[in-house]
Structure 1
Amino acid sequence: MGNAYVIVVDGLGVGAQEDADQYGDESMNTLGHVSEETGVKLPNLQKMGIGNIIPLASVPENGQPLAAFGKLREVSAGKDSTTGHWEIAGIQLEKPFPTYPNGFPKDLIDAFCEGTGVKKVLCNKPYSGTDVIQDYGEEHIKTGYPIVYTSADSVFQVACHEELVSIQKLYEWCEFARHNATIGEHEVGRVIARPFTGTPGNFERISEKRHDYSSIPPKNNLVQKLYDSGIKTYSIGKVSDLFAENGFTQYRPTKSNAEGISQLLSLMSAQLDNSFVFVNLIDTDQLFGHRLDPEGYAGSLEEFDRAIPAIVSKIRKEDLLIITGDHGNDPCSASTDHSREFVPLIVFPKAAAKAENLGTGDTFSNIACSIAGFFGMDHDFPGKSFLD
C-alpha cells in the first residue's frame, strides 16, 4: 500500500469565493495579487500546473503540466485554519466558531481569572500578536496580569513573558481556558499560548513555544478514521494542534517552513508504507499574510517551490501527493485577516486523477473522500473523490 501526502500551504488562496462578500472579502486573491505585485517566480510549481488554476502575472500556464490541477470551494461557515483543515478532513461546519470583535464578555474573562488565580487581564480586544506585546508587555511585567486578546478568527490568545510566567504555567492556564472557560456558547476554535521574551521596546514572540489548544473535532473525520483503521498518521507543523492531537500516530512540531519541509523529506526517506502524512506550512500565513508583507509571502512560496523537485523525487508510483491551502490571507490588501477564497488543488501523479483539469470542487472535503478511497476505506464524508 502506498502513502498519501497532503501539504497545506497556510493562507494560500486563489481568488474570492462567490460568498466572499458576506465576509468583506470580495476583492481578495492571495496568489493572484502576490504574483502581480511581486513578480514571484515558481518554476517547479509552474511545471506542476499552478499557473493553470487561475491567471497569474508571473507564473504562466503549462501546456503539459506534470500534475492534475483545480481549485476547491469552502462550504463550512468561517475562514480560519481549524475550519479549513477540518473540512479537508471531511468535517463541514454549519455554524461558525464564535468571534469577538469587541473583546471577550465579562463572564468568560471572570471564569478564566477565577480558574487561573489572576486578578485581571490586559487588552481583551482584537490585536496584532506582534503589536500587543509591544503595547502591553511592559504593563504585563509590572502587574503580572496576562495579556488576553483575539483576532478576526475564533481564537482566545494568552501572551505572557517567559521570565514572569513560566511556559509550563502558561500552558496550564490555556488548558484551563480550553476546558473550563471557552465552552458552550464561547467554544472558540482555538486557545493559543503565546509566550514572549525580551525587554520593553524589544519584545519578541517565542514562536516555537506557541501551543494551540483546538476544539475537539468530531470523531468522524479522515485522520481519526485512518488511525482507527490501522493506517499510520503523521502530523507535521500545527496540524495536530488543530485536531486536539487526536488521531495521530506521531506529530512533529516545527519552527518554520524550512523545518517542515525537512521533516517531510525525512519521513519520505524513512521507507514508510500505508501511511498518511498531513503537513502545514505556516510561514506564508503567520509571518507574511497577517503582516501584509507580499515580498515575504513571495519569498516563502519560492522557498517551497525550491523543495518541489526533492519532494516529487520521493513520490513512488503507488504514492499520492496533494498540495492545497486552508483559506486565503492576501498580503496585498488592507486587511490583516484571513480571507474567504478558493484554494488550489494540485494532484500528483497526474495519472491518479480523473482528469488533468479538475475544475472547481464543491468542498475541501473532496480531499477526504479521495484519501479515503486511496486507502480503500469506507466513509460517509461529504463531497466526492477526484481520483480515477
Structure 2
Amino acid sequence: MDFRRVIVVDLSALGVGEAKDANEFNSVGADMLGHIANKVGGHFKLPTLSKLGLGNIRFGDPILGIAPVDVPIGYFGKVQMASKGSDFNSGLREMFDYQSDVRITSSIDSVVYNGKGINKSIVISNYDSYIFNQDLATILPANSDVRAFRELHQQASSSGSGLIYMRTLGIQECCRQADIEGCAKSLRYMDQQLAELINELHSTDLLLVTSSYANDPTFSTTPTREYLPLIAYVPSNPDGKSLGIRRSFADVAATIADIFHLGASPKFLRSSFLGELA
C-alpha cells in the first residue's frame, strides 16, 4: 500500500486483558475494558470500535456489549509490550523509537527530517517530556479531548503527508480516579469521534488506533500490565483481518519506518505489518 500519511490515535489507558507477564507487574486479572463493560452493564456499546474489530481481538473471550463482528472493516490485533518499564511513557517510546544506522531515534522527527521538506509530524497532546522534545514536530497543545479532536478533525480533513499523533486524556483521568462511569462516557465519546474521523480520511491515509498503556480502574496498580489494542484502518481497503499478537510496540515504529523509508538498521529486529495491510 502506498500511504502518504499515518494518523495514530492513542486511547491512553485502554487495555484488553492481562498480558502474559502480568504477574511481574502485580496485574494478574487486570482487564480494563472488560471490567468497565461488566460494571456498566449490557447497554455499554462502542459501535465504531466494534466495526473496526475491537471485539474480534477478544475472540473466544468476548467483552460484554462488544462482541466480535463477522466482517470487521479494520485490521485488528493486540500488543504485548516488550519493555520492562512500568511508567506511563514506556509504551510511547517503544511505539515511536527505532534503531537507525547511527542511533536510536524517534520516527516522529525522522519523518520530517527524511521527508525532503514535504512531510510533517503533528502532535496533538497535553504536555509530555518525550513528545514535546521532538524538535521537528509541530506541537498542538490540547488539555481536553474536545480540543484534541477538534484539532485532529481539522488536520485530517486537510491534505498533506507525514505523521499525526493524538493522545486522549479523558479515559486516563477517569481511570486514575477509579471513575467507572466516567471511563465509559469517555470511551463512548472517543467512539463517536472516531466515526467522524473515518469519514474525513483520504484514500492514502493509514489510521492506527491503539493505546500506549493500560490502567484498569478496578486495580490499585497503575498502570496495569495488559495487552494493548492495535487497530489499523485502510480507507481504500475496508476489509479487515487479524494482525495477531504483536510482540512489541516497536512493530508500529517499524511500520512507520517502512512507509516513510526511514532507513531502519538491520539490527532493528522488529516486524513491520505494512505487508499485511493488503
Q: Do they superpose with TM above 0.5? A: yes
Match of 2:89, SS? Answer: helix
Compute the displacement of 1:354 (Å).
Answer: 11
Distance 1:63 1:89, change over 3 A: same
Does residue 145 of structure 2 align to residue 237 of structure 1?
no
- Residue in 2 that maps onto 1:359: 244
Aligned counterpart in structure 2 of residue 275 of structure 1, from 162, 172, 179 = 162
Distance 1:222 1:25, change over 3 A: same
Does residue 209 of structure 2 align to residue 327 of structure 1?
no
- Residue in 1 that maps onto 2:85: 78
- Residue in 1 that maps onto 2:45: 41
Distance 2:229 2:258 in 1: 21
Distance 2:239 2:274 in 1: 5
Aligned pairs for 1:1-388 (under 5 A) are: 2-39=4-41, 40-54=44-58, 55-90=62-97, 220-230=105-115, 231-238=119-126, 241-271=129-159, 273-285=160-172, 287-333=173-219, 335=220, 337-349=222-234, 356-380=241-265, 381-388=268-275
Point out which structure has higher relative CO (alpha carbons under 8 A, 6+ apart). Answer: 2
Distance 1:354 1:362 in 2: 24
Match of 2:226, SS? Answer: coil
Distance 2:158 2:85 in 1: 37
Summarize deviations over 1:34-85 as a string: whole Å, max 9, x none: 1121132101111111111112111111100010100011011123232110
Distance 2:147 2:193 in 1: 12
Match of 1:31, SS? Answer: helix
CA contact (8 A) 2:132 2:139 kept: no
Q: Which amino acid aligns with 2:168?
A: L
CA contact (8 A) 2:123 2:131 kept: no
Q: Which amino acid aligns with 1:235?
A: V
CA contact (8 A) 1:71 1:343 kept: yes
CA contact (8 A) 1:354 1:387 kept: no
RMSD: 2.1
Distance 2:37 2:225 in 1: 19
> Deviation above 6 Å: which 4+ runs of structure 1?
350-355
Q: Which amino acid aligns with 1:9?
A: L
Distance 1:284 1:69 in 2: 21
CA contact (8 A) 2:16 2:228 kept: yes
Distance 1:18 1:367, change over 3 A: same
Q: Which amino acid aligns with 1:301?
A: L
**Normalization by structure 1: what TM-score?**
0.63
CA contact (8 A) 1:293 1:332 kept: no
CA contact (8 A) 2:125 2:148 kept: yes
CA contact (8 A) 1:89 1:221 kept: yes
2-11 or 376-385, which deviates more: 376-385
Query: What is the percentage of aligned positions where both structures have the same residue?
Result: 27
Compute the displacement of 1:353 (Å).
Answer: 10
Compute the displacement of 1:280 (Å).
Answer: 0.6
Distance 2:140 2:5 in 1: 18
Summarize deviations over 1:233-257 as a string: whole Å, max 9, x none: 0100137632342244311111211
Q: Which amino acid aligns with 1:266?
A: Q
Distance 1:354 1:240 in 2: 35
- The alignment covers a number of residue pairs equal to 260
Q: Which amino acid aligns with 2:180?
A: P
Rg (Cα) greater in structure: 1
Compute the displacement of 1:351 (Å).
Answer: 6.8
Match of 1:262, SS? Answer: helix
Distance 2:264 2:239 in 1: 20
Unaligned residue ranges in structure 2 (runs of 5+): none
